[in-house]
Structure 1
Amino acid sequence: MTPPAPLRLLNHARALATGQHALSALIPPALLLLDALLCALVIRTVPYTEIDWAAYMQQVAQIAAGERDYTAVKGGTGPLVYPAAHVHVYTALYHLTKGGRDVRAAQWVFAGVYLAGLAVVMACYWRAKVPPYVFPLLVFSKRLHSIFVLRCFNDGVAVLFLWLAIFFFQRRSWAVGALMYTWGLGIKMSLLLVLPAVGIVLLLGSGLATSLRLAAMMGLVQVLIAVPFLAHNPGGYLGRAFELSRQFLFEWTVNWRFVGEDVFLSRGFALGLLGLHVAVLVGFVTTRWLRPARKPLSQLVVPLVFGRSPFTQQEQRRISRDTSPGFITTTILSANAIGLLFARSLHYQFYAYLAWATPFLLWRSGVHPVLQYVLWGVQEWAWNVYPSTPVSSGVVVGVQALTVAVVWRGAREEWGAQESRAKRRGGKAVIE
């Protein structure tokens, strides 16, 4: 008996949303095209908002004029506080936009950066077998469009290279992925938050010897891009580009406003967040990220201290195989989520690091699709409240904490061995 038409339609929609329909593969490119039109509409109809662009251009103009002392470079918002890759990127933009005067041209460039990033994110999602129903959450963020095409923040460029790193790691192009990551880190030091996960992914996926060579390459790249500034004032460059003790004003914080200004500015609060960050990272490292090694931490640390691989060649091949696209994406994005949860101050542009990561983590946690959409919507609302309030900041922290908790609990299988998963399914392990 043929099912009624409404039921057939519902079955087709379910198959399309879960990736079981022949047309499911068309959803990502269709959404990408839709977002391209949306970006054009935003640029043409929404007034540009000046925040940091003019300061970036003032700083780059001084460097273009011959200044090489980082401590002497300043703009309307203060001193230059980003690494050298930021300077190289915005120097190119400086020349493309007539010294920064053609802001509309910059907006079109950043629309291209946004769409390139979105395409890479979609490719990473597809490689990790994320179902199509999650993809709409990637394109409907008001705040994310604002960060890219209305304000031209450097966070958008850094995020592009973070996702390019994930893209190449998923395809086992370890050297290219490491190069993408270190270039993104050279744009903004926020990418330091995922460095522990990147190190573990490289160790498990490529082995100790290769991962050490790649770590050296990443360090060398940071030196080479900064040579003009290191040669003039190395201490000044390192102090400004990678200033870990930088203080943010309470009035601009998006996340911890609900604790009050006195607590926010206190040293005890900063140390408490740092301690929690370290503790949660250690928890993820020991109970999740290192699970493909199938060895206790002591058997891993001791050989590494003496510069030896803790794995035999046969073990390394198995572990590398288990370092799947899903494992890589889950590990790096969970490290990012942990770091942002315990950051003392997030500004609005930091949403660039969350907007494309949260849908993946919520899906990977296994929570119901309706709850995934609800949590995404609540997070989006909170990041669009300006200025932030105790309620909105509490929601920002609450959703982020819940995301970290559910992905730790719900993605246990992603961090396990493929043989174990296959055994539970009653089949052979699938090599991705």
Structure 2
Amino acid sequence: MSKRCKIVVYSIAGAIIAMIIALLIKLLFFSGLFIPQITLNGNKTETVEVNSKFHDEGAEARFRFQDYSDQIIKKSNLNIHKTGTYTITYTFDKYDKSVSRAIQVVDTTAPKLKLKEPMNLRVFENGTLQDPGYQAVDNYEGDITDKVMVKNDVDMEHTGTYKITYTVSDSSGNVTKKTRKVEVCADPTKTKVYYNFDDYDNKAEEWWFNKSTKHQRTTAARDEAFLAKYDAYYLGKDEKVIYLTFDEGGNDITYIKEIADVLNKNDVKATFFLTRNYIKNEAPFMNDLVKHGHLIANHTWHHYDMPLLANSKDIDKFVREITETEKTYMEVTGKPMVKVFRFPKGGMSERSLRIMQELGYKTFFWSHAYYDFAEDVSGDESYKTMMDHYHNGAIYLLHPSNKGNYEAMDKFIKEMKKLGYRFDTVEHVGD
């Protein structure tokens, strides 16, 4: 090897040795071999949300290859419940060595804004709008409901769909916004009917029918063609379908809720002809019926004999029996009432049928019923009469005041399904 090459090799080797020595000295120095050292674990600056938990990673102290971290003294002015910049100081007191960490407590969480139920409102034209209310809570400031700004663009004098906007900001500038839909509806009780019905016979009639034999469709007090002129029906479609209907005016003893449970368990929808006061007094049950797909239909306010009101003097009272029930249903459920009606006790006249048609209603009688008012009717008796007289499109009138109807319902439904029948509500009959 030439002398020049040897010089180059020695130079490179020397440089490498020098680097190694420098690294060793640096390692020994910072490991605390010669000088005591204290170092932060984690970042020198931390950001944390106000009122949250802060995990302090602490610091480490070393000297002459020994760990003295347990001798570190920590001092802190941190207040996790108040925004600001704070300092945590770690001191290796024996050797007067210290390091610090800056903690920035910030508020970046928007307030929680809760609108009280119902989320959406149906109100009546020219009526009063009552806001269900709201509450705002901030993770830093607590209850800030008084800071909520409400923008209401609802025009109570005109029907339409409007909104109320709620906005709340905390002191850190975090914003939450929510809206509530408000539908202003025409008030059913403002409905007026121009009386021009004297040409229609007002002779009161009690509904009757001939019981089905051999499961054939049956005849009744009025034939289908006559009733259809007034959008009235006592039979459904001529196919394997049964329409279960229940009349309820608020009896002291009733099994209506138990019957509804049986229907729901069997995935069967039924029609409930209910009076206004029962709808009003049983609001949670009404909403449960609607939720399960049942039809709540109009059975008047006071359960009057309607032909007695079908005259020029009492026409407003006639109309009010219907429209007050509609309005109460809308107030309870937030939905418009499907215009399906049954006369109390089946008492009708041609004139009263025509007035109901003028009000936009379909009227329903029935093709099967039995004397089920008595409390002591057994489940076996109820089941037998329901099975003896079923037929295509049968509209069953049943009263929930009878325990026998409740006891027979599950068995009847299951048996009819085995025979290939389905169950439906009445609103589409005649479409």
Q: Same fold (TM over 0.5)?
A: no
More helix by share: 1
Q: Report TM bin, short chain.
A: under 0.3
More strand by share: 2
Larger radius of gyration: 2
* Larger RCO (CA within 8 A; separation ≥ 6): 1
